[in-house]
Structure 1
Amino acid sequence: MTTPIRHITIDAHDPWRLAQFWAQVTGYTVSDEDAPGDDEALLTSEESGSPGLLFIRVPEEKIVKNRVHLDIEPPVGTRDETVERLLAAGATLHEDHRKDDGLGWVTLRDPEGNEFCVERGAAERGQTQA
């Protein structure tokens, strides 16, 4: 059974730029139908049934904390390696919830200020990927 969720939609001032950032976060691909300056940009996964990320141009500024956010589990590497990679890609650190024992997560903001969390990967939790 596939998910009934087709897209997760995110408001943006610059949909193309934000889609480029999130492509680095997720490994998703920007649609061939989208280009810089468009009012929307769609990211899709090669994994069947995964919802796309749709970025839509809006004039409003982001003012408060997101009511919904994405939690990212690194598909390869560690949480800390992923955090460093995403900071280099344009994310900013919002809150660091890492603990001395290796547990916890890091809350980052994308280039337009939307919060998201980076958790430990399955290998760090002692689990195997299915």
Structure 2
Amino acid sequence: MASLVRHVTIDCADAYRLAQFWAQVLDGKVGDDDNPGDPEALVVSSGVSLLFIQVPEGKTVKNRIHLDVQPQDRTRDEEVERVLALGATLVGDHRTPDGKGWATLADIEGNEFCVERSAAERIATESSTATA
């Protein structure tokens, strides 16, 4: 039998604070036994579980792995605005005039992630391309 990914683990400076941010992004929940000041905190959501581990060293280079977030009930652009309001920052805008592309953001500790088009937006773009 093959292995399964149990959760994605992210090193950070403040595990509980970063978990709270990602719980809001993913409409998830911080573990019931996780509290401010804990060296680790778990976020459980319908898509993926994220485990945040406090480490002494800070982030110094670009992530070697990152998360791609796809909104479920809003557009990519609405999701970008929502997540920016939660405290993320825009790192790179790769959205194109034809509606394709993505936005690269950084969370409150500088970890990069991308916001992609929703499934509905992908279908709409494919449909308009097929009829053109």
State TM-score, norm by structure 1. 0.90
Aligned equivalent of 1:57: 54
Where 1:124 maps in the other structure, the secondary structure is helix
Q: Which runs of 4+ in 1 moved over 3 A?
A: none
Aligned alpha-carbon RMSD (Å): 1.6
Match of 1:83 among 80, 84, 93: 80
| Residues 119 and 30 of structure 1, relative CA distance in 2, 3 Å threshold | same
Aligned equivalent of 1:6: 6
Aligned equivalents of 2:28 and 2:50: distance in 1? 9
Deviations along 1:76-117, one digit per CA (max 9) or x if unpaired, are 100000000000000000000000111100000000000000
1:65-80 pair list within 5 angstroms? 65-80=62-77
Where 2:59 maps in the other structure, the secondary structure is coil
| Residues 123 and 51 of structure 1, relative CA distance in 2, 3 Å threshold | closer
Q: How far is 1:4 from its partner?
A: 0.7
Aligned equivalents of 2:12 and 2:22: distance in 1? 12
Deviations along 1:16-70, one digit per CA (max 9) or x if unpaired, are 110011011111110001000100000112x4xx542000000111011000000
Name structure 2 gaps, 5 residues minimum: 125-132
| Residues 104 and 51 of structure 1, relative CA distance in 2, 3 Å threshold | closer
Match of 1:124 among 104, 121, 131: 121
Letter in 2 for 1:110: D
User: Which protein is bigger by CA-based radius of gyration?
Assistant: 2
Aligned equivalent of 2:129: none
Name structure 1 gaps, 5 residues minimum: none
Q: Aligned pair 1:103/2:100, yes or no?
A: yes
Q: How far is 1:7 from its partner?
A: 1.4
